[in-house]
Amino acid sequence: MNIVEHLLAHNLTISFAESITGGLLASSLIDYPKASKVIKESYVVYSNEAKHRILDVKYDTIDKYDVVSVEVAQEMVIGLSKVTKAKICVSTTGYASYDKENGRDTGIVCYAILYNGNIISEEVTINKSRNEVRNTLKDLIFNKIIEIIEWYSLFYLKLYYTPIGYRNGGKIMDDCCKNKYRTEEEKHNLTVRLNRITGQINGIKNMINEDRYCYDIIVQLEASIKGLKKIQNDMLKNHISTCVKTAISNGDETILEEIKELLKLSWKKYIK
C-alpha cells in the first residue's frame, strides 16, 4: 500500500508545511490516485517571515534554536494543524546546501509529524547532494507516516476485533498472559535472540577491558540496542494482537491506558 492508500484506509487527511522540501511532499503525494480525498491544502513556507505569518512560528524560537531545529519544526506543525485541521500534519526545515553564515553542513534536516495529539520530531543528517537530500527526506517522512499509522491502528482500530475462541469472561488478563499466546517455538526464538545479544554484550565488555578503539565499541553497542528494540517491538505487537484484543472484547478498556504508555515508550525518542 502506498501512503495515499494508507490514509484512505484509516479515513485520514494530511497537510504539509514545507521549507527545505519546497512542495515536494505535497506534489509527490498528489502523484498517487485519489490524493484529492486526503489532501486539501498545504504550504511552502521557505522564508522565516512566511513561517511566522502563516504558521505563527515565533521569531524568538528561530533566534534561539536556529530556523533548522526540531523546535522550529514543532512550532511549524502546531501552526499548520491550527490552520488546516488535517488529522496528520507534517513540517520540514533544513539545509540542503552548505550554510556559510551559520557554518552548518549540507543535509542537516528536521521534520515534525503531528498525529493523534503527539508530535514526533527528529533531526537527521543526510550526506548527499541538494536534490538527493530532499528526495531522501521525502521517502523518510512518507515511510515514517505509514509506520505511525500502522502503530496507532493497532491500538485504536484493530483492538475491537474479537479473536476467535476468546469471547468468555473470567480473569482476562491473568488468563491471556500466562503463555497462552506464546508457543514453545516462540519462547525458544526469543531466548535465542536474547542469548545472542547477551553474547554481544559480553564481547563489548571484553573490548572495553582490552582498551579497544571507542568507535568499534560504540558500533557494537548500537547493534545490541537495535536487537533489543526489535525484540521489544515484536513482543509489543504480540501483546496487542492477543492480550489486549482479548481484554477489549470482554469489555475491559482499562488496558488502553497501559497501551498508551507503551506507545509513548516505543516512540520515546521522537515524541514531544
Could you please report the per-residue DSSP string of 1-61? --HHHHHHHTT--EEEEESTTTTHHHHHHHTSTTGGGTB---EE--SHHHHHHHH---HHH
User: Over the stretch 216-226, which tens digit does the pLDDT of each residue have?
Assistant: 999 899 889 88
DSSP 122: E
Look up residue 247 and give its three cell numbers.
481484554
Query: Which pLDDT does position 168 carry in this prediction?
Result: 31
Query: Which pLDDT does position 180 carry in this prediction?
Result: 53
Same domain, 27 and 145: yes
Alpha-carbon distance 162 to 165, whole Å?
9
Residue 141 sits in a domain of what CATH number? 3.90.950.20
Q: Does 135 fall in a domain?
A: yes
Q: Which amino acid is at 265?
A: L
Query: Which pLDDT does position 60 carry in this prediction?
Result: 97
Same domain, 151 and 254: no
Beta bridge partners of 112: 91, 121
Q: Does 103 fall in a domain?
A: yes
For the ranges 66-80, 110-124, 200-214, 254-268, which has the lowest average pLDDT?
254-268
Beta carbons within 8 Å of 256's beta carbon, 6+ residues apart = 155, 159, 248
Same domain, 119 and 187: no
Split into its structural domains, the chain has a count of: 2
Grid cell 553497542 in the structure block, residue: 221
Alpha-carbon distance 49 to 147, whole Å?
33
User: Over the stretch 126-175, which tens digit does the pLDDT of each residue have?
Assistant: 988 889 999 999 999 999 999 888 777 655 544 333 333 322 333 333 44
Average pLDDT, the chain: 83
Same domain, 202 and 142: no
Residue 174 sits in a domain of what CATH number? 1.20.58.1000
Contact 139, 254 (CB under 8 A): no
Q: Does 272 fall in a domain?
A: no
DSSP 159: G
Residues in the chain: 272
Q: Of 104, 134, 156, which residue sits at a domain end?
A: 156
Q: Does 271 fall in a domain?
A: no
Residue numbers of the domain that contains 229: 160-266
* Maximum mean pLDDT: which of 61-65, 159-163, 247-251: 61-65
